[in-house]
Amino acid sequence: MTGAAAMHPELGPLKPGDRVGLVSPSGPAPADRLDRAVSLLTGWGLEPVLADHVRDVHPSAPYLAGEDRHRAEDLQTMWCDDGITAVFCIRGGYGAVRILDLLDAAKLRAAGPKPLIGSSDATALHQYWSENLGLATWFTPMVATDALLDDPAAQANLREALFTPYRGRSFTSGAAEPLVHGEATGSLTGGNLSLLAMTLGAQPIPDNTGRIALLEDITEDIYRLDALLHILLRAGWFDGLTGIALGSWLKCGELHDVKALVTELLVPLGIPLVWELGFGHGPGAHSIPLGVQATLTSDRNPQLVLH
């Protein structure tokens, strides 16, 4: 998907009074976290609407927020409801890949575009929306998790993302570091590394020619990160990329080991590569749109600028 000259209508911005859908396509959110998420969004002037099964827990697989068909129905219903202005995936975990084959792409395409918001396990949905609907989406901390609810900086970043135009916004962090110098321009793609590998069998490998990849992960041992990167490399997922921005690697072992791994495997690609640009699961995480044009600058002051 390439960037357009006009603002992507599916990215908002939102305004006070908008009705927003809350769905749980992956793992279940604790009741208190969901209640706090509703309070947060209400405090921003939005009207949260809970999907029918958003509080469900699967009867035999408690790591899932209810049955696959119900999670798929909730997502599709909220997306196709003209009275809903945006759809929030409230929690990650695991499960989004299980509902991909239950979605009706034709019906989703026929519905009016709107922001799809979330990260982590929702990376599977970002990929589906990009490749099957051709729409931009928001890669943000999940609203019913401590990572957002207990982090005022992440909340401020999300609120800015949702309520103000994205064009011209820039992203960096105090830990940002160039691993391969240069400048890259392209449409943003990617997200959670393990989910990108997991979705390879769920749909055709995307053509990432002319795109900039965002990559991050959480609670993956270093050998797992090694394997996941090799899966994507051998599948050709990195082919044609113009640049790569890396985010946080929370609870993935020693950061110097992760940096050594990406240096070994990704530096040889010879495209601009930035370490720790401030998105993902880390504190104060940025909210960044996928599917829009951006420029990645990898020099003494690495940054990503949206067009």
- Predicted TM-score (pTM) of the model is 0.96
Name the packing angle between helices 255-266 and 222-235 (round to 10°): 20
Dist CA 299 CA 182 (whole Å): 7
The answer for residues whose C-beta is within 8 angstroms of residue 268's C-beta and 6 or more apart is none
Dist CA 299 CA 11 (whole Å): 29
- Please determine, for residue 5, whether its predicted confidence score (pLDDT) is greater than 70: no
Three-state secondary-structure class, residue 29: coil
Dist CA 94 CA 102 (whole Å): 16
Residue that the structure tokens 């699967």 belong to: 58
Task: Tell me what pLDDT residue 52 has.
Answer: 98
The model's confidence at residue 1, banded by pLDDT at 50, 70 and 90, is: very low
Find residue 180's DSSP bridge partners.
Answer: 273
- Mean per-residue pLDDT, 8-36: 95
Looking at the annotation, which residues are catalytic?
A: 120, 216, 281
pLDDT digits (tens, 9 = 90+) for 218-272: 999 999 999 999 999 999 999 999 999 999 999 999 999 999 999 999 999 999 9
Q: What is the CATH number of domain 9-163?
A: 3.40.50.10740
What is the CA 51 to chain-centroid distance, rounded?
Answer: 20
Least confident of 146-150, 203-207, 233-237, 287-291: 203-207
pLDDT digits (tens, 9 = 90+) for 126-151: 999 999 999 999 999 999 999 999 99
Q: Do domains 9-163 and 170-306 have the same CATH topology?
A: no
Dist CA 15 CA 8 (whole Å): 16
Distances (CA, A) of 35 to 22, 49, 94: 11, 12, 21
- Please determine, for residue 7, whether its predicted confidence score (pLDDT) is greater than 90: no
Greatest Cα pair distance, the chain, in angstroms, is: 52
Q: Which helix (H) or strand (E) holds 297?
A: strand 293-298
Domain with residues 170-306, CATH architecture: 3-Layer(bba) Sandwich (3.50)
Three-state secondary-structure class, residue 200: helix
Please report, for the chain, the start and end positions of each structural domain, with discontinuous segments joined by +.
9-163, 170-306
